Structure 1
Amino acid sequence: MSKKVQYTLEYPVRCSPTILYEFLSTPAGLQEWFADKVDEREGMFSFSWNGSVEKAQVIETEIDKFIRFHWLTAPGDEFFEFRIEKSEVTNQTILVIKDFAEKREVADQSQLWEYQVKDLFHRLGN
């Protein structure tokens, strides 16, 4: 199995970091755009898509700044992260997503994130 590579996606978003963080870090918020059903217990999130369940643990978080998850089925050094940054030039809020994928699958995975983020923006009224 080839080693996965980390890739980063950035999306400008028109909403406050506080509201955006709610959509990135709470079961109710994530269920709006990321998965069909989301449950959380003591930092362990269960994400359901079409009846299959994947579990991820929160490994690091800073309120209104970022949240980093680790899939339980992934190697220990892999994670996916939602980070909220502010452009110093335009003062615009930027959603930064970091994830891992096989090198040949980065384009497909990026497209999947693009689809998910469009759903998020729709929920946010962007």
Structure 2
Amino acid sequence: MPLSATRLKHRFTVEFPINASPKILYPYLASASGLSQWFCQDVRLDEDHRFNFIWDNQSHFAEMNSHRTNRSVRYVFLDHNKRHTPDANYLDFTLEESQLTQEVYLRVLDYSEETDETELQEMWDSLILKLRELVGG
């Protein structure tokens, strides 16, 4: 397929210190009920255990592609027919704890067509602010 026929993807990575333990944070990253409290309008699980992320009343289906309890989770987004696509958008959340300072960091990797770094930074700053309010961190 010629390059002009594909949409170029952008990998945006950002880290946030969060004053809460991975055990407290993980359910907000890995469950529909946790994500719906801070990440988007609503998140539901369908009968096939796919996540339905709802933004602006529009569904965006994803599968939890991998997870390590209290450490990381990856969501790979599906097409409108809920099927996998080559070079799909995905979202990674990784929790890291500094052994030296005991600080917890949430690293977000957002792989999508969105290329505006400033817009992405502002969006994630706002989302993480909501998350911090929820966990008291």
The residue identity in structure 2 corresponding to 1:85 is E
* Shift in CA distance, 84/47, structure 1 to aligned 2, threshold 3 Å: same
The unaligned stretches of length 5 or more in structure 2 are 1-5, 80-84
Q: Which has the larger radius of gyration?
A: 2
Report the structure, 1 or 2, having the larger strand content. Answer: 1
The answer to which of 35-44 and 72-81 deviates more is 72-81
TM-score, length-normalised on structure 1?
A: 0.88
The unaligned stretches of length 5 or more in structure 1 are none
Alpha-carbon shift at residue 89 of structure 1 (Å): 2.6
Pick one of 44, 49, 57 that aligns with 1:39: 44
The residue identity in structure 2 corresponding to 1:28 is S
* Shift in CA distance, 109/65, structure 1 to aligned 2, threshold 3 Å: same
Alpha-carbon shift at residue 71 of structure 1 (Å): 1.2
Identity of matched residues, %: 25
TM-score, length-normalised on structure 2?
A: 0.82
Matching residue of 1:99: 110
How many residue pairs end up in the alignment? 126
- Dislocated runs of 4+, deviation >6 Å: none
Q: Deviations over 1:99-123 (max 9, x none)?
A: 1245741221121111111111111
The residue identity in structure 2 corresponding to 1:6 is R
Matching residue of 2:101: 90
Pick one of 66, 79, 92 that aligns with 1:81: 92
